[in-house]
C-alpha cells in the first residue's frame, strides 16, 4: 500500500484565508487542489509536506473569461473545463489540443491548471502551452498581487516563483489579432506522459511572423522555451522551409535524457518534427485554413 | 480527524488520519468492497467512484477531501434487485473476465451516460481510456456500454 507520510489537513474557505494559513505554516505547507500530481509524489515520499491546505472549495478561482484584452483563467479551473471552453478554443486552440491528450478524462475531472503549472514538471503539457502563448501568472500573497511571465515563473525543475505564504491565483493570456496556436505530442500509450511534445503560437501580420512562441515538454529538466528558434522566425514569412529550420533548432536546443520512453537521438528528432508540425498547424489556423 | 462522507446516500463517519485515501475509507466501510484498489497511481481506474456525479479515481483523493460531497460506488447501481443498464449490458456482452476493472469501468460508464446518453463508440473509448482491462480487451466493454445506452433510451422513451 502506498500511503503518504502523516500530515495535518486544513480546508481553506477563502483565498485570503488560504494565504493567511500558508503564511502561518511557512515552508512545511503545500497547497492541494486536484492532487493528481502531489498525492502520487506524497505516496512515493518524494514530497512530505507537514500540512496540506485544500483549496478545492474556492470556487471563485474556477473560471475562464475574456477581460481587459486577455483571457483570464482561475487557478482552480480543471482540465475538463479547459478542454470544453469555447472561448479558449476560439483564441488559443492549443489548449484543446493539449487537453485531449493530458492523462485521461477521469484524471482531467480533478487536475487543475494552477496545480499543473505549480508542479513545474518538465513533462507536463500545460507549462509548454502557457509558455508558447506567452501567458503570465498572478501570484497573490498577504501584501497583494504580482504578475510574472512564464519564464520568471518556472525557476527550475519542480520549482516556481511562488513563495511561502503565496498562492497562484490566475493565468492571463494576452489576446492579439492574427494569431493561432497548436500542440503536438507523441506518447507511448493513451494517458502517458509525452515522449516529447511541442507547443507553438504564431501571430501573422502582413504576411510575416509578427511574433511567435515555442516551447517543448519532456525533453529537458524544465520546460524548454525555444527563444533562439523564436528569434530566427520573427519578421520572416511563415514558410515550410522556415518551420523546418525551427525544427532543427528545436532538436539542437533541447536536452532530453535517455529513459524507457526512448534514447536521446530519437527524442531530439521527435522534438524537431513536432516543433515543425505545431508551427505549421498554428499557421494554418491563423490563416483560417484549418480548425 | 473525524471524517463524515455521504456514500450511496448514507452518511458514513469515522475517525481517520488525514492521509487516509478515499478508496480505503470506502473499502473499510462494511459491505462496500466493490470499489477496487488497484495500481495506487491513478493509472488503472479500478477505483473510480462518482463524486457529485463526476468520475474520480478514489486512490488519488483524500477521504478528507470528499467531505461535503456525494460519493456513489458500484454498489449503488443495482436498486431493489434491478440491475443498472450498465450492469445488464456487461452481462449481455460478457464484458468482464476476472472482474477486477469492472467497478471502475461501470462507474465511468455511468458518468458518461448521465452526461451523454447517446455516445458514439469513439466517445465511449475516450471515456474509458483511464481504465485498464488486462483480461479481455475493450471490445466487449464498449459493446456493453453501447447496449446500456440503447436500453436507457428505450426506457426513457417509454415514459
Q: Please provide residue B119's backbone torsions phi and psi, each rounded to the nearest 5 degrees.
A: -75, 150
Closest to A32 measured CA to CA, from B16, B70, B62, B135: B62
Report the 10 Å Cβ neighbour count for A75: 28
Classified as helix, coil or strand, A176 is coil
Q: Answer whether A289 touches B (CB < 8 Å).
A: no
Q: What is the pLDDT of residues A50-80, one digit of tens each?
A: 999 999 999 999 999 999 999 999 999 999 9
Give the Cα separation of A123 and A113 in Å (integer). 14
- Give the bridge partners for A216, in sequence order: A198, A224
Q: Which of B42, B50, B107, B126 to mutate to test the interface with A (most CBs of A within 10 A)?
A: B42
pTM passes above 0.90 = yes
The whole-angstrom distance between B9's CA and the closest CA on chain A is 21
Q: What is the mean pLDDT of residues B92-97?
A: 96
Q: What is the pLDDT of residues B13-40, one digit of tens each?
A: 999 999 999 999 999 999 999 999 999 9
> Is the pLDDT at A285 greater than 50, yes or no?
yes
Q: Using CB atoms and an 8 Å cut-off, which of residues 167-206 of chain A contact chain B?
A: 190-191
Give the Cα separation of B108 and B126 in Å (integer). 11
Give the Cα separation of B104 and A177 in Å (integer). 45
From residue A281, how far is each of A197, A199, A240 by CA, in Å?
14, 10, 11
Classified as helix, coil or strand, B50 is strand
Q: What is the pLDDT of residues A8-27, one digit of tens each?
A: 999 999 999 999 999 999 99
> Is the pLDDT at A151 greater than 90, yes or no?
yes
Cβ within 8 Å, pair B19-A7: yes
- Chain centroid to CA A13: 26
Q: Using CB atoms and an 8 Å cut-off, which of residues 4-33 of chain B contact chain A?
A: 17-19, 21, 24
Q: Which of A36, A39, A96 to mutate to test the interface with B (most CBs of B within 10 A)?
A: A39
- Considering only the beta carbons, identify the residue of B1, B42, B127 that sits closest to A105: B127
Q: In the prediction, which pLDDT does A191 show?
A: 85
Give the Cα separation of A71 and A49 in Å (integer). 33
Give the Cα separation of B58 and B108 in Å (integer). 12
The whole-angstrom distance between A281's CA and the closest CA on chain B is 23
Classified as helix, coil or strand, A65 is strand
Q: What is the pLDDT of residues A197-253, one digit of tens each?
A: 999 999 999 999 999 999 999 999 999 999 999 999 999 999 999 999 999 999 999
Query: Quick one: DSSP state of residue A212?
Result: E
Q: Using CB atoms and an 8 Å cut-off, which of residues 11-50 of chain A contact chain B?
A: 11, 32, 35-36, 39-40, 42-43
Size of interface A-B (CB pairs under 8 A): 79
Cell of A220: 529537458
Amino acid at each position: 500500500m502506498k500511503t503518504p507520510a502523516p500530515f495535518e489537513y486544513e480546508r481553506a474557505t477563502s483565498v485570503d484565508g488560504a494565504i493567511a494559513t500558508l503564511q502561518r505554516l511557512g515552508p512545511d505547507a503545500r497547497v492541494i487542489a486536484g492532487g493528481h500530481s502531489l498525492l502520487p509524489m506524497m505516496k512515493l515520499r518524494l514530497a512530505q509536506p507537514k500540512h496540506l491546505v485544500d483549496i478545492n472549495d474556492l470556487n471563485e478561482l474556477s473560471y475562464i473569461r475574456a477581460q481587459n484584452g486577455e483571457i483570464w483563467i482561475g487557478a482552480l479551473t480543471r482540465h475538463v473545463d479547459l478542454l470544453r471552453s469555447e472561448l479558449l478554443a476560439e483564441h488559443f486552440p492549443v489548449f484543446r489540443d493539449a487537453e485531449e491528450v493530458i492523462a485521461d478524462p477521469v484524471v482531467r475531472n480533478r487536475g487543475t491548471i494552477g496545480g499543473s503549472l505549480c508542479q513545474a514538471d518538465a513533462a507536463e503539457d500545460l507549462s509548454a502551452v502557457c509558455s508558447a502563448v506567452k501567458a503570465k501568472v498572478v501570484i497573490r500573497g498577504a501584501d497583494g498581487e504580482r504578475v510574472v511571465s512564464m519564464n520568471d515563473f518556472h525557476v527550475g525543475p519542480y520549482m516556481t516563483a511562488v513563495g511561502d505564504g503565496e498562492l497562484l491565483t490566475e493565468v492571463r493570456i494576452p489576446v492579439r489579432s492574427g494569431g493561432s496556436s497548436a500542440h503536438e505530442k507523441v506518447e507511448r500509450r493513451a494517458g502517458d506522459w509525452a515522449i516529447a511534445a511541442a507547443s507553438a503560437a504564431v501571430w501573422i501580420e502582413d504576411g510575416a511572423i509578427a511574433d511567435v512562441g515555442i516551447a517543448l515538454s519532456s525533453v529537458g529538466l524544465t520546460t524548454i522555451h525555444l527563444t533562439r528558434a523564436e528569434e530566427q522566425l520573427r519578421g520572416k514569412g511563415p514558410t515550410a522551409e522556415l518551420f523546418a529550420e525551427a525544427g532543427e533548432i528545436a532538436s539542437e536546443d533541447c536536452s532530453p535524457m535517455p529513459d524507457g520512453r526512448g534514447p536521446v537521438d530519437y527524442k531530439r528528432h521527435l522534438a524537431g518534427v513536432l516543433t515543425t508540425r505545431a508551427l505549421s498547424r498554428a499557421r494554418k489556423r491563423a490563416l483560417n485554413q484549418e480548425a | 480527524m473525524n471524517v463524515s462522507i455521504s456514500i450511496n446516500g448514507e452518511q458514513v463517519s469515522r475517525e481517520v488520519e488525514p492521509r487516509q485515501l478515499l478508496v480505503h475509507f470506502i473499502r473499510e466501510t462494511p459491505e462496500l468492497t466493490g470499489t477496487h484498489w488497484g495500481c495506487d497511481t491513478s493509472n488503472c481506474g479500478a477505483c473510480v467512484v462518482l463524486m457529485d456525479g463526476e468520475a474520480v479515481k478514489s486512490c488519488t483523493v483524500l477521504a478528507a477531501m470528499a467531505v461535503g460531497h456525494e460519493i456513489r460506488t458500484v454498489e449503488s447501481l443495482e436498486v431493489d434487485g434491478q440491475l443498472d443498464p450498465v450492469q445488464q449490458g456487461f452481462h449481455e456482452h460478457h464484458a468482464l473476465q476476472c472482474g477486477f476493472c469492472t467497478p471502475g469501468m461501470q462507474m465511468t460508464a455511468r458518468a458518461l451516460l448521465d452526461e451523454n446518453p447517446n455516445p458514439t463508440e469513439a466517445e465511449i473509448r475516450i471515456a474509458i481510456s483511464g481504465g485498464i482491462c488486462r483480461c479481455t480487451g475493450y471490445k466487449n466493454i464498449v459493446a456493453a456500454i453501447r447496449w446500456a445506452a440503447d436500453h436507457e433510451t428505450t426506457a426513457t422513451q417509454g415514459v
